[in-house]
């Protein structure tokens, strides 16, 4: 029943030993702290991609709380007058609700949109850096494949995400049901 | 109009001055950090400490401003969630935070350059041990190929079973692509369900029509109805009766990537224009000639637009004279007509 | 400096005259001009004045009596004041060359001369100039009709575009009357819609919708041309990504330059 306390009074030691005595993490932390990372400016390009992805996650979570990814038709009664009373998909209707009714909704939606575009651009810049510095060679070849997969997923996700609420891109009637009449529903 | 050479010279020199100033500034930023001297050891490791006073004041100031913008965002959100103001507030806040972090990274924290040898991957001994243990797992098994092959085909079979449900996304096994709601006698109705009268389809206009009572969302449902001068028709012989009074109906779904065809090129004065009436898809501009059965005039579509035979019933309404001339929607393997 | 001022003055004068013409085009109701529902009763002297002007400006293609010349220009018998008003007010006619696509531009004639030409063409019969009441239309119905019938070529924001074989004009400066006239005429390769397909109430609604696109509620800030993904991509790549790249360059380290020419060594 004795509580062996290893508090030494040094804040840093206490903090690290708190984790180490439960997870055995001190050696891992030492490895991480010793990790030497190149500080050339071209290594920041991948970080741009990373942080735009973080923004996508955060804004996307907010949007997901309001977005209804359903193609079921509802009659729209909201503040966008041009579509008042028309039969829209629940996805589009919830997107309009987000844009016009939800406080900060349009900000989140726009941030999400632009972060997605910058995400793909940053991945491409990062890819160019990898190629031109030969960082795709062994032992980082699998890493490179993973990165390419991320690029493809990012592009696919971009398509899927703009496809869902069917932003009224002019003339670009989509394949989704209801849009066969050339309405962006 | 000749340019005043004196003016041009000034502008040119001004531009050059700006350019040189910019480059000099960038160069000056470079030179501020002394590159390490090439000594005998050629070891670039070093560590510099000493945060200047101005940095230790400026950075907290920037962080305080960041806090203010954060609070400003909260206040705006409650009072007037104007998107542009919110965005500006958040953007400025993040920019201030970024500036603080950049300055901290450059001037606050110790500047350290370390050298780390590349990790030597390829521990031959460990690899041998792991391989040995893996091989040891097969001790006592004599029919290795048989068991291995059996495991392989079991994996392949189950993988096929797991993957095959994805086929349901496509045209499907049971559902035929050529099944559309159109059959002989089906009335054409407009967007609101009213039968379309032949008299209401004027030459040069186009109308979107659906089968009466059928689901509008079915890809085979929507058609475009147009009227042309019957004398200009060039339909194939077996479709001669498909266009009463010169009224034609084609599937609205493009045979390229199934966008809705919503453009109708309808020349007003045929005498001055060489291009005839055509249905055009807005996505990739596949152009279908309406006079000769929907053949592709331009664009990436792989086959002609399916045509719906039309008849005019006793009340003057348009009805279908039979099913579509071909499968609706994008071309797929095996379908090249 | 002086040349620049002269150029500026010319532009300002040109701009003012454009505004002047546009203002005249919409608001003026000539004593002899036709209104919807009334038959064409052109002023006799104006008709003959119009005939003279027609002979000098239009007959080369449309024939001495507006009967049309095969292979060159169609007959104007029966097109009415509606068509004449549309083509002349928007500057589509006279064409710069016989095979050119009629494009909206500055009207070639003054308002008074246009009226004489309208009266002349109207004397051959045909539909009158329509009156449109956008305020009576329904914005939502207009959007629905526009999306179904017009947005394919003109885009949902009325920004214009292309079709195979023609340029689709933007609707940003189209007046309700011009919209109604174009719908009935179907100029160049545009499809046309008769009263049986789009009633006058429908046209009121469409005009109301188009008017709303001319002063859109850009809730999200900068519209970037309102044509969708392409300008957005350009902003993302040429502004945002370029700026971020520049910032990365500025805040990151650069590889230290060798002090003197290094001896050929293994790559580091």
CA separation, residue C255 to residues A163, B5, B35, B113, B119 (Å): 44, 43, 9, 12, 22
Q: What pLDDT is recorded for position B268? A: 83
Task: State how far the Cα of B132 lies from the Cα of A60, in Å rounded to an integer.
Answer: 48
| Predicted local distance difference test score (pLDDT) of residue B41 | 56
* Residues of chain B numbered 154-173 and touching chain C (CB < 8 Å): none
What is the reported pLDDT for B7?
65
Report d(CA C136, CA C138) in Å as an integer.
7
Class of domain C134-214: mainly alpha
pLDDT of C28:
38
Question: How far is A107 from C247, CA to CA, in rounded Å?
Answer: 24
- Which pLDDT score, from 0 to 100, does residue C249 have? 93
**Token pair in block for residue C58:** 């239009």
Q: Does residue C40 register a pLDDT over 50?
A: no
Enumerate the domain spans of chain C.
Answer: 22-122, 134-214
User: Rounded to whole angstroms, how far apart are CA atoms B281 and B303?
Assistant: 13
Question: Largest Cα–Cα distance in chain B?
Answer: 104
| A22 and A54 share one domain | no
Residues 93-112 of A with CB under 8 A from C: 99-100, 106, 110
**Average pLDDT score over chain A:** 84
Average pLDDT for A158-167: 70
The dihedral region occupied by B294, where left means phi > 0, alpha psi between -120 and 50, and beta the remainder, is left
* Closest CA–CA distance from residue B243 to any residue of chain A (Å): 23
Q: Are residues A119 and A135 in the same domain?
A: yes
Q: Which residue has the tokens 């940095």?
A: B55
Give residues with Cβ within 8 angstroms of B204, minimum separation 6: B227, B266, B268, C186, C191, C192
Judge whether C225 is closer than 8 Å to chain A, CB to CB.
Answer: no
**From CA C235, how far away is CA C237, in angstroms rounded?**
6
**Mean pLDDT value across residues C232-239:** 94
Residues A22 and A45 grouped into a single domain = no
Instruction: For residues A26 and A54, state if they share a domain.
Output: no
**Residue C191 contacts B, CB cutoff 8 Å:** yes
pLDDT confidence of B51, banded at 50, 70, 90? confident
Average pLDDT over residues B173-202: 83
Mean pLDDT for the stretch of residues B81-86: 92
pLDDT at A164 over 70: no
| C69-120 confidence digits (pLDDT tens) | 888 888 999 999 999 999 999 999 988 888 888 999 999 999 999 999 999 9
Q: Is A89 helix (H, G, I), strand (E, B) or coil?
A: strand
The pLDDT value given to residue C5: 65
A32 and A101: one domain?
no
- One domain for residues A157 and A96: yes
Q: For the ranges A134-143, A158-167, B49-58, which has the lowest average pLDDT?
A: A158-167
Length of chain C: 268
Residue B56 has pLDDT above 60, yes or no: yes
Nearest alpha-carbon partner for B306 in B284, B335, B277, B282: B335
Q: Extract the tokens encoding B206.
A: 């186009």
pLDDT of residue B298: 92
Q: Are residues A82 and A140 in the same domain?
A: yes
User: Residue A125 belongs to a domain with what CATH number?
Assistant: 1.20.810.10
**pLDDT value of position A168:** 42
Q: State the DSSP string of B155-177.
A: HHHHHHHHHGGGGGGSS-SSS-T
A52 contacts chain B (CB < 8 A): no
List C-alpha distances in Å: C19 to B142, C86, C107, C211.
96, 18, 12, 18
Contact B90 A173 (CB under 8 A): no
Verify whether the Cβ–Cβ distance C219 to A106 is below 8 Å: yes
C159 in contact with A, Cβ within 8 Å: yes
Question: How do residues C140-172 score in pLDDT, each as one tens digit?
Answer: 999 999 998 999 899 888 988 888 888 999 999
Which tens digit of pLDDT belongs to each residue from A31-73? 888 888 888 999 999 999 999 999 999 999 999 999 998 888 8
Domain that holds residue A19: 10-38
For the residues B127-138, what does the mean pLDDT come to?
A: 93
Classify domain B188-320 at the CATH topology level: Rieske Iron-sulfur Protein (2.102.10)
- Report yes or no for ipTM above 0.90: no
> Hey, is B133 helix, strand or coil?
helix
Q: Name the token pair of A158.
A: 């971009």
Q: How many domains does chain A have?
A: 2
Using a CB-CB distance cutoff of 8 angstroms, which residues of chain A are in contact with residue C151?
170-171, 182
| A18 and A56 co-located in one domain | no
> Is A82 a domain residue?
yes
**pLDDT of B314 strictly over 50:** yes
Task: Dump pLDDT digits (tens) for B206-247.
Answer: 899 999 988 877 888 899 999 999 998 999 999 999 999 999
Phi, psi of B208 (to 5 degrees): -95, 130
Q: Could you tell me the residue ranges of all domains in chain B? A: 49-114, 188-320
Specify the pLDDT at position B156: 97
For B307, the enclosing helix (H) or strand (E) is strand B307-308
SS3 state of residue A185? coil
pLDDT in tens, C110-127: 999 999 999 999 999 999
Residues A128 and A104 in one domain: yes
Mean pLDDT of C203-223: 91
Q: What is the dihedral of CA B292, B298, B299, B301, to 10 degrees?
A: 20
Contact between residue B209 and residue B249 where contact means Cβ atoms under 8 Å apart: yes
Of the CA atoms within 13 Å of residue A115, those in its CB half-sphere come to 20
Number of H helices and number of E strands within chain C?
11, 2
Q: With respect to residue A179, please indicate whether it lies within any of the assigned structural domains.
A: no
- Compare all CA atoms of chain C with the CA of A172 and give the residue at the minimum distance: C152
CA distance B68 to B84: 18
What is the reported pLDDT for B19?
A: 81
Q: Which fold has domain C22-122?
A: Cytochrome Bc1 Complex; Chain D, domain 2 (1.10.760)
The predicted structure's pLDDT at residue C29: 38
Give which of B262, B272, B261, B267 is closest to B203, Cα–Cα.
B267
SS3 readout for B252-296: CECCCCCCECCEEECCCCHHHCCCCCEEECCCCCCEEECCCCCEE
């Amino acid at each position: 029943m004795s509580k062996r306390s290893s508090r030494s009074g040094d804040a840093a030691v206490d903090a690290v030993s708190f984790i180490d005595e439960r997870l055995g993490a001190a050696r891992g932390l030492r490895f991480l702290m010793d990790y030497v990372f190149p500080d050339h400016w071209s290594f920041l390009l991948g970080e741009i991609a990373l942080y735009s992805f973080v923004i996508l996650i955060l804004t996307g979570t907010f949007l997901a709380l309001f977005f209804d990814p359903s193609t079921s038709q509802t009659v729209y009664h909201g503040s966008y007058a041009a579509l008042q009373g028309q039969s829209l998909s629940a996805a589009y209707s919830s997107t309009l609700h987000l844009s016009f009714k939800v406080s900060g909704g349009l900000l989140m939606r726009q941030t999400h949109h632009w972060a997605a575009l910058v995400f793909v651009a940053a991945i491409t810049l990062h890819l160019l850096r990898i190629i031109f510095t030969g960082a795709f060679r062994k032992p980082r070849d699998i890493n490179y494949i993973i990165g390419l997969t991320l690029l493809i997923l990012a592009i696919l996700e971009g398509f899927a995400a703009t496809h869902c609420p069917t932003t009224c891109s002019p003339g670009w009637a989509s394949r989704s049901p209801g849009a066969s009449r050339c309405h962006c529903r | 109009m000749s340019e005043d050479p004196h003016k041009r010279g000034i502008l040119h020199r001004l531009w050059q001055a700006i350019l040189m100033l910019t480059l000099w500034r960038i160069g000056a930023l470079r030179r501020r950090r002394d590159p390490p001297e090439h000594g005998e050891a050629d070891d670039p490791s070093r560590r510099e400490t000493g945060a200047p006073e101005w940095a230790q004041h400026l950075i907290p100031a920037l962080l305080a401003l960041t806090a203010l913008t954060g609070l400003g965002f909260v206040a705006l959100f409650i009072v007037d969630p104007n998107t542009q103001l919110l965005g500006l507030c958040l953007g400025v806040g993040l920019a201030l935070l970024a500036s603080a972090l950049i300055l901290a990274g450059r001037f606050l924290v110790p500047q350290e350059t370390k050298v780390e040898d590349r990790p030597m991957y390829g521990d031959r001994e460990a690899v041998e041990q792991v391989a040995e243990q893996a091989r040891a797992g097969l001790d006592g098994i004599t029919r290795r190929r048989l068991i291995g092959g059996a495991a392989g085909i079991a994996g392949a079979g189950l993988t096929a079973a797991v993957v095959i449900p994805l086929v349901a996304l496509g045209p499907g096994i049971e559902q035929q692509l050529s099944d559309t709601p159109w059959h002989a006698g089906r009335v054409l109705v407009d967007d609101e369900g009213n039968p379309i009268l032949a008299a209401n389809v004027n030459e040069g206009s186009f109308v979107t029509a659906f089968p009466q009572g059928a689901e509008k969302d079915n890809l085979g449902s929507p058609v475009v109805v147009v009227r042309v001068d019957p004398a200009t028709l060039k339909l194939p012989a077996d479709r001669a009766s498909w266009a009463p009074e010169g009224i034609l109906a084609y599937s609205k779904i493009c045979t390229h990537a199934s966008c809705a065809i919503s453009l109708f090129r309808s020349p007003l004065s045929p005498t001055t224009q060489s291009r005839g009436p055509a249905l055009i898809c807005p996505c990739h501009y596949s152009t279908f000639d309406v006079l000769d059965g929907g053949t592709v005039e331009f664009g990436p579509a792989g086959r002609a637009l399916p045509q719906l035979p039309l008849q005019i019933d006793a009340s003057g309404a348009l009805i279908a004279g039979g099913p579509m001339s071909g499968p609706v929607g994008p071309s797929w393997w095996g379908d090249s007509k | 400096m002086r040349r620049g001022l002269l150029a500026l003055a010319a532009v300002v004068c040109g701009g003012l005259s454009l505004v002047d013409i546009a203002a005249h085009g919409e608001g003026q109701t000539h004593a002899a001009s036709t209104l919807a529902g009334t038959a064409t009763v052109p002023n006799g002297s104006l008709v003959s004045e119009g005939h003279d002007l027609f002979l000098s400006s239009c007959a080369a293609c449309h024939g001495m009596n507006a009967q049309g010349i095969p292979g060159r220009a169609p007959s104007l018998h029966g097109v009415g004041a509606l068509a004449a008003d549309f083509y002349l007010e928007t500057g589509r006619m006279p064409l710069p060359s016989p095979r050119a696509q009629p494009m909206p531009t500055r009207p070639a004639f003054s308002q008074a001369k246009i009226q004489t030409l309208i009266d002349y063409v109207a004397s051959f019969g045909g539909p009158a100039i329509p009156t449109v009441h956008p305020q009576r239309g329904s914005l939502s119905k207009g959007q629905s009709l526009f999306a179904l019938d017009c947005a394919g070529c003109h885009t949902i924001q009325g920004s214009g575009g292309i079709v195979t074989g023609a340029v689709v004009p933007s609707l940003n400066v189209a007046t309700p009357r011009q919209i109604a006239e174009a719908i009935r005429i179907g100029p160049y390769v545009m499809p046309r819609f008769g009263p049986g397909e789009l009633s006058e109430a429908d046209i009121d609604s469409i005009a109301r919708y188009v008017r709303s696109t001319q002063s859109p509620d850009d809730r999200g800030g900068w519209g970037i041309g309102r044509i969708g993904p392409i300008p957005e991509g350009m902003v993302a790549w040429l502004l945002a990504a370029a700026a971020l790249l520049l910032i990365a360059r500025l805040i990151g380290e650069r590889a230290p330059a060798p002090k003197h020419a290094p001896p050929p060594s293994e790559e580091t």
